[in-house]
Amino acid sequence: MPRKQDFDPSVALPPGLDVAQIRKAIEYVEREASDLVEIYFEQANVFSAIIGILGTKAMDQVSCYEKHRNIDTAQQRFPDLKRRGSGANPTPNNSLESKGSKRPWAIQSHYDHPGWYIVWRYLVDTTKMIQSDKSVIIWRVDVVFLERGDWKYEGSGAGVHGGGRTHTFGVTNPAKKLNGKAVYARKDVVIRNSKPVPVNGDHDE
C-alpha cells in the first residue's frame, strides 16, 4: 500500500475525492498493471492508455466518481468519470478524466475540455528494485483542474501515406501548471534527464 507520508493533503481535489480513495486506487493500478507489463515492451503508448483505463476502473470502484455505464458512450466521450449523482451532463467541476503517462510532466488528450484531470505517472521496474512485489510503480499522481485555454492544439503527422499520430491537444507549459498539484509523490523516485528513476533500494512498508 502506498505510504501515507508520500501524500500531500494540501493539494486541491475534485469535489468528494480524498487522499484515502486515491491511495486505494494507486494500489489497484499497480497490482493490475504489473500483470500486464509485457505490453509495455511491445507498445509503450498502448500501455500508457491501459494505465489510464485502470485508473478509471479504480476510481469507479473506490471513489465517489463513476464511469459511464454505456460502453459505447464511455469510449467516445469526455469525461472518463463523473461525480455520482451529477446527472448525464456533468459540469466541468464534476468531471474527471484519467490519464496514464511515463513522462514526468506532459499531459495529452484528444479533447481540450475543461474539467479535472488525474494523471498516473508510472515507471516499469522489472528488476523490482523499488518494490519487491510490483514491476509497475505509480511514482506520482497529479490532480489538476484545466480550463480550455490551458490546452494547445498539436496537430497530426498522419497523412494519406500513413504514419503519424491522431490529432491531440497538449497542456501549455505543463511543469509550471502542475507545480503544487502532486497529491502523491514517492520520495524514492527522482527525475534525472527528464526521466523518473529510483533513488535507492526497496520501498516496502
pLDDT one-digit tens code per residue, 68-108 = 776 665 566 789 999 999 998 999 999 999 999 999 999 99
CATH number for the segment(s) 4-198:
3.40.600
Residue 67, H or E segment: strand 65-67
Q: Provide the Cα torsion 119, 123, 177, 45; round to 10°.
A: -70
pLDDT of residue 205: 39
Residue in the structure block whose three cell numbers are 494500489: 27
Please provide the DSSP assignment of 24-45 as one string: HHHHHHHHHHHTTTHHHHH-HH
Q: What is the pTM of this model?
A: 0.90
- Domain positions in the chain: 4-198
122 closest CA partner among 198, 8, 18, 21: 198
Cell numbers given for 122: 508510472
Cell numbers given for 24: 486505494
pLDDT in tens, 181-190: 999 999 999 9
